[in-house]
């Protein structure tokens, strides 16, 4: 079976992550059950993922490939870097702008929370680290275990797993899961076209960082708090409800449009 190695790896990854999480469940039980992204909540999520990833990379002899992956990340194509940064910044801000200015489905309180404001550099680093481990698990690893081909079947299967991994987050909804699936498609196309894990990580990071620690919204259902805050004014289908901006139909539309743009922009001659 073409995907057997991938399914075995991911089954082991989720099992080991759960086992490594057990001590943190006892240490930070109240904060984890509170479903709010405090620093301890982040530790309880991030550390088990990293330990599982390192252990499995050792078992599968992936360290050499991992090293090459990061070395490739330093081979910048500045035209592509510019496009990636435009996408990374414009995508979340467009979702916010349409919801706030045009549809008026949210009402933003622009009073600055000084506590969060002072911590934004640290929070950005933590957000980047979280995005990076997810990109390694759901972009780098799958395409070391299955043929690195740009086809719908491969991308759909890999990102269905990425989507399923978010089902257990608080306040899930169908639109949010469709957004997660499309975001996975976008990140995978970027990774496969550039062979650069940092590009997809940057987009992942800026989305989470702008929607969460800056705007003060929920990210995939998890409340983070932020420099600003907002309240919901209209139906969940527009605002995303308690799942956050991923649950907004606007996110689905924009993610699909950006996916088409990226696919065209990164089109190779042999893809035509």
Give the residue, 264 or 13, on which the prediction is more confident.
Answer: 13
Rounded Cα gap, residues 34 and 182, in angstroms: 28
Interval 168-209: pLDDT, tens = 888 888 999 999 999 999 999 999 888 888 889 999 999 999
Name the nearest CA neighbour of 144 among 47, 268, 61: 61
Q: 32 falls in which pLDDT band (50, 70, 90)?
A: low
Question: If you search the block for the tokens 């079947």, which residue do you land on?
Answer: 153
- Mean pLDDT of all residues in the chain? 87
Number of other residues whose CB lies within 10 A of the CB of residue 204: 25
Residue % of the chain over a pLDDT of 70: 92
Q: What is the pTM of this model?
A: 0.90
Q: What is the dihedral of CA 242, 109, 225, 171, to 10 degrees?
A: 0
The pLDDT of residue 33 is above 80: no
Number of other residues whose CB lies within 10 A of the CB of residue 268: 8
Helix (H, G, I), strand (E, B) or coil at 258: helix
Question: If you search the block for the tokens 């969060």, which residue do you land on?
Answer: 116
The DSSP 8-state label assigned to residue 36 in this structure reads B
* Two tokens, residue 186: 């976008």
């Amino acid at each position: 079976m073409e995907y057997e190695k991938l399914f075995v790896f991911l089954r082991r990854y989720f099992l080991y992550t759960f086992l490594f999480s057990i001590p943190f469940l006892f240490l930070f039980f109240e904060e984890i059950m509170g479903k709010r992204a405090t620093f301890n909540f982040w530790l309880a999520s991030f550390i088990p993922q990293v330990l599982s990833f390192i252990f499995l990379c050792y078992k599968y002899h992936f360290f050499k490939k991992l090293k090459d992956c990061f070395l490739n990340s330093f081979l910048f194509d500045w035209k592509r870097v510019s496009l990636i940064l435009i996408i990374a910044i414009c995508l979340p801000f467009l979702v916010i702008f349409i919801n706030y200015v045009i549809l008026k489905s949210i009402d933003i309180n622009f009073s600055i929370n000084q506590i969060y404001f002072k911590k934004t550099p640290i929070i950005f680093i933590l957000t980047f680290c979280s995005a990076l481990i997810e990109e390694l698990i759901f972009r780098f690893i799958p395409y070391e275990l299955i043929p690195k081909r740009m086809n719908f079947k491969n991308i759909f299967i890999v990102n269905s797993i990425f989507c399923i991994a978010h089902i257990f987050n608080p306040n899930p909804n169908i639109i949010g899961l469709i957004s997660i699936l499309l975001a996975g498609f976008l990140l995978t196309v970027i990774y496969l076209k550039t062979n650069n894990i940092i590009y997809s990580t940057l987009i992942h990071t800026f989305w989470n960082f702008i929607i969460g620690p800056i705007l003060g919204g929920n990210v995939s259902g998890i409340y983070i708090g932020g420099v600003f805050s907002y309240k919901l004014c209209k139906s969940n289908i527009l605002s995303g409800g308690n799942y956050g901006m991923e649950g907004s139909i606007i996110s689905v539309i924009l993610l699909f449009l950006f996916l088409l743009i990226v696919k065209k922009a990164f089109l190779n001659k042999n893809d035509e």
